[in-house]
Amino acid sequence: MKHLLSLFDLTVEDLQRILATASHLKDRLHKGDRPPVLERRVLALLFEKPSLRTRVSFETGMAQLGGSSLFLGEDVGWGKRESPSDFTNVLGQFVDAVVCRTKKHDRATQLAHYNAMPVINGLTDLCHPCQAMADVLTIREAFGSEEGKHLVFVGDGNNVSSSLALICAMLKMKFTLACPENYELDSDWLCRVLEKYPEATIDQTCNVDQAVSTADAIYTDVWTSMGQEEESAIRRKAFSDFQVNESLMSKAPDHARVLHCLPAVRGEEITDGVIDSDQSDVISQAGNRMHAQKGLLAWLLNPQWVDQNI
């Protein structure tokens, strides 16, 4: 059974197929065509943290594909009312797949352990694979191709930047993390990326001006992720020189696009002037969450349709 706990679960070929399916379904949607690729299939969303984009994009994506979804919050008692095996095996009796958003990555791994249904990571503390797929789709649309492009992430070595470093390695993009000391990518994660993709170009630097000088896309995310709220004062101080603002953008090439996974803390990691500028793609990037995930769902749950149509 296939799961998407991280992008390590995909081959480059799988990823390309998912992205091609996403673009195909997006084009058809814009022509008013919503093929029922997942008719009567049911997707569960099991979330331990808040969400706008991930929840709504999966729910609307399923509806557009002819399936349905159900949101499972705290009240289902995951990890509280019954054993993990009973919970998971029972859920697998009802749904075709589950998207989970967990505080700890191990919880997502545990859900996949029983192979009761395919498990899709909708964000954990370790990574955010669905976000990275939508981000690449956005870069592909902006430049025609992502290969050889330089993505500079200004901010934390967190779940979002970790998935971006990996997807860049998979798709032959250059990746730079510009961050303060001690906020680099998780070293085990980076080792795994470089072990699997030894040709990858991944740099980490404190020199943000130099990093953005060759950027095709400048990406940022909150300085304090969900679950790190107690560190927010320390982080605000540590990241104060790593804001994506007009001054930083003046050091980047004119063609550079601005990305953010959202939600943003405007005035912290990014200014209103930059996020609302003509260089910013953040709204269409958020829209691409749905398109990328439709490609993923079709590939995961109806591979025959993908083989016949892509």
Q: Does residue number 158 form part of the binding site for ligand CP (CB under 6 A)?
A: no
Single residue of 3, 24, 53, 150 touching ligand CP by CB under 6 A:
53
* 101 given a catalytic annotation: yes
First to last CA, the chain: 22
Single residue of 37, 65, 98, 123 touching ligand CP by CB under 6 A:
123
* 107 given a catalytic annotation: no
Q: Does residue number 138 form part of the binding site for ligand NVA (CB under 6 A)?
A: no
Catalytic residue among 24, 221, 285, 291: 221
Map residues 246-285 to x or -, x wherever contact with ligand CP holds by CB under 6 A: ---------------xxx----------------------
Which string of b and e fits 138-160 if b means at least 16 CB within 10 Å?
A: bbbbbeeebeebbbbbbbbbbbb
Q: Does residue number 52 form part of the binding site for ligand CP (CB under 6 A)?
A: yes
Please identify, among the stretches 52-60, 169-177, 197-205, 228-236, the one whose residues bind ligand CP according to the rule CB under 6 A. 52-60
CA angle 202, 205, 207 (to 5 degrees): 135
Structure token pair of residue 198: 């030894």
Strand extents, DSSP E, the chain: 42-47, 68-72, 97-101, 119-121, 150-154, 174-178, 201-205, 217-220, 257-260
Question: Under rule CB under 6 A, how many of the chain's residues touch ligand CP?
Answer: 9
Please identify, among the stretches 12-20, 45-53, 103-111, 277-285, the one whose residues bind ligand CP according to the rule CB under 6 A. 45-53
Quick count: other Cβ atoms within 10 Å of Cβ 70? 15
Structure token pair of residue 14: 């799988």
Length of the chain: 310
Nearer to ligand CP, 133 or 298 (CB): 133
* 120, β-bridge pairs: 4, 99
Q: Does residue number 296 form part of the binding site for ligand NVA (CB under 6 A)?
A: no
Q: Does residue number 54 form part of the binding site for ligand CP (CB under 6 A)?
A: yes
Catalytic residue among 41, 53, 128, 140: 128
Q: Which of residues 152-181 bind ligand NVA (CB under 6 A)?
A: 158-160
* Alpha carbon distance 37, 296 (integer Å): 12
Nearer to ligand CP, 179 or 259 (CB): 259
| Interaction site with ligand CP (CB under 6 A) | 51-54, 123, 131, 261-263
